[in-house]
Chain A
Amino acid sequence: MSCILAIDDRPINRQFLASLLGYGGHKVLEASDGEEALGIVRQSHPDLVITDIKMPRMDGYEFVDRLRREAGSAAPPVIFYTALYHEREARAIADAHGVTDIITKPSEPEEILKKVSAALGLDGLTSRPGSTEIEAGEHRELDALRATGLKLSALVELGMELGSEHDARELLSRFCSTARHIIGARKSMLGILSEDGDKLKYFLINGLKESRPLVHDRPPLHHSVLETIINDRKPVRINHGEANLLLGQLSPDSSSIHSFLGAPLMSATEVYGWLVLLEKQNNEVFTEEDERLATTLAAQAAIAYENAVFSERLQRNAEELDRTRREQLEMKDEFISHVSHELRSPLAALHQFTTIMLDGLAGEVSSEQREYLEIVLKNSLQLRDMIGDLLEVTRTQGGKLTIEPQPTSLRDLFRPMIQTYKRRAADKGIDFRTTCPYELPLVQADPTRIEQVLSNLLDNALKFTRQGAISVSGSLDEREKFVRIAVTDTGFGISADCVPQIFDRLYQSPNTLESSRRGLGLGLHICKHLVELHGGRIWVESKEGEGTTVFFTVPVTTIHERNN
Chain B
Amino acid sequence: MKGNKILIIEDDHDIRRGLNVRLRASDYETAFASDAVMALSIAKKEAPDLILLDLGLPGGDGFLVLERMKNIASLACTPVIVVSARDPKTNEKRALDAGAQAFFQKPVDNKDLLVAIQRALMK
Contact of B86 with A341 in the complex, beta carbons under 8 Å:
yes
Q: How far, in whole Å, are A361 and B26 apart by their CA atoms in the complex?
A: 10
A344 at interface by CB-CB < 8 Å:
yes
Contact of B25 with A348 in the complex, beta carbons under 8 Å:
no
> B112: shortest Cβ distance to chain A, in Å?
12
Q: Kindly list chain A residues whose C-beta atoms are within 8 Å of the C-beta of B18.
A: 348-349, 352-353, 356
Q: Kindly list chain B residues whose C-beta atoms are within 8 Å of the C-beta of A361.
A: 21-22, 25
B46 at interface by CB-CB < 8 Å:
no
Q: How far, in whole Å, are A346 and B85 apart by their CA atoms in the complex?
A: 10
Decide: A348 near B15, CB < 8 A? Known: A337-B87, A391-B87.
yes
Which residue of A has the minimal Cβ distance to B25? A361
Contact of B87 with A352 in the complex, beta carbons under 8 Å:
no
Q: How far, in whole Å, are A8 and B15 apart by their CA atoms in the complex?
A: 82
Indicate with 1 or 0, residue by residue over A393-426, a CB within 8 angstroms of chain B CB atoms.
0010000000000000000000000000000000
Q: How far, in whole Å, are A464 and B86 apart by their CA atoms in the complex?
A: 32
A136 at interface by CB-CB < 8 Å:
no
Contact of A349 with B12 in the complex, beta carbons under 8 Å:
yes
Among A345, A353, A356, contact of B12 (Cβ-Cβ < 8 Å):
A345
Which residue of B has the minimal Cβ distance to A362? B21
A380 at interface by CB-CB < 8 Å:
yes
Contact of B85 with A352 in the complex, beta carbons under 8 Å:
no
The A-contacting residues of B in range 90-123, CB under 8 angstroms, are 105-108, 110
Chain B interface residue count, CB cutoff 8 Å, equals: 18
Contact of B87 with A341 in the complex, beta carbons under 8 Å:
yes
Q: Kindly list chain B residues whose C-beta atoms are within 8 Å of the C-beta of A362.
A: 21
Q: How far, in whole Å, are A384 and B108 apart by their CA atoms in the complex?
A: 11
A351 at interface by CB-CB < 8 Å:
yes
A355 at interface by CB-CB < 8 Å:
yes
Q: Kindly list chain B residues whose C-beta atoms are within 8 Å of the C-beta of A353.
A: 14, 18
Indicate with 1 or 0, residue by residue over B32-46, a CB within 8 angstroms of chain A CB atoms.
000000000000000
B31 at interface by CB-CB < 8 Å:
no
A245 at interface by CB-CB < 8 Å:
no
A329 at interface by CB-CB < 8 Å:
no
A347 at interface by CB-CB < 8 Å:
yes
Q: Kindly list chain A residues whose C-beta atoms are within 8 Å of the C-beta of B86.
A: 341
Decide: A352 near B25, CB < 8 A? Known: A341-B85, A345-B12.
no
Q: Kindly list chain B residues whose C-beta atoms are within 8 Å of the C-beta of A355.
A: 110
Q: How far, in whole Å, are A347 and B15 apart by their CA atoms in the complex?
A: 10
Indicate with 1 or 0, residue by residue over B12-31, a CB within 8 angstroms of chain A CB atoms.
10110011011001000000
Interface centre among A337, A344, A352 (most CB of B within 10 A): A352
> B81: shortest Cβ distance to chain A, in Å?
15
> A11: shortest Cβ distance to chain B, in Å?
64
B residues within 8 Å of A by Cβ?
A: 12, 14-15, 18-19, 21-22, 25, 56, 85-87, 89, 105-108, 110
A residues within 8 Å of B by Cβ?
A: 337, 340-342, 344-353, 355-356, 359, 361-362, 380, 384, 391, 395
Which 6 A/B pairs are nearest by Cβ-Cβ distance? A352-B18, A344-B85, A348-B106, A351-B107, A349-B14, A348-B107
18 A-B contact pairs sorted by A residue (CB < 8 Å): A340-B87, A341-B85, A344-B105, A345-B106, A348-B12, A348-B107, A349-B12, A349-B14, A350-B107, A351-B107, A352-B15, A352-B21, A352-B110, A353-B14, A356-B22, A359-B25, A361-B21, A361-B25
Contacts A352-B15, A362-B21, A395-B89 known; 14 new A-B pairs at CB < 8 A: A341-B56, A341-B87, A342-B85, A344-B106, A346-B14, A347-B106, A348-B18, A348-B85, A349-B14, A350-B107, A352-B110, A356-B25, A359-B110, A361-B21
